Amino acid sequence: MPDHTVLLNYNGATFTPAPNPIRVKAGQTIHFRLGEGPAGGQIRITFNNPAFFSAPAFHTGDPDIRVAAAPAATTYHCELLLNGQLVAQSSEGAGGDIVPDSTT
Between 26 and 91, the higher pLDDT residue = 26
Beta partners for 88? 80
Question: Would you give the distance in Å from CA 13 to the centre of its chain?
Answer: 18
Between 38 and 95, the higher pLDDT residue = 38
Beta partners for 92? none
pLDDT 10s digits, 54-77: 999 999 999 999 999 888 899 999
Q: How far apart are the first and last CA of the chain?
A: 21
Largest CA distance in the chain: 43
pTM for this model (two decimals)? 0.91
Domains in the chain with CATH codes:
4-100 (2.60.40)
pLDDT 10s digits, 9-59: 998 888 889 999 999 999 999 999 999 999 999 999 999 999 999 999 999
pLDDT of residue 94: 65
For residue 84, report the phi and psi dihedrals to the nearest 5 degrees. Answer: 80, 0
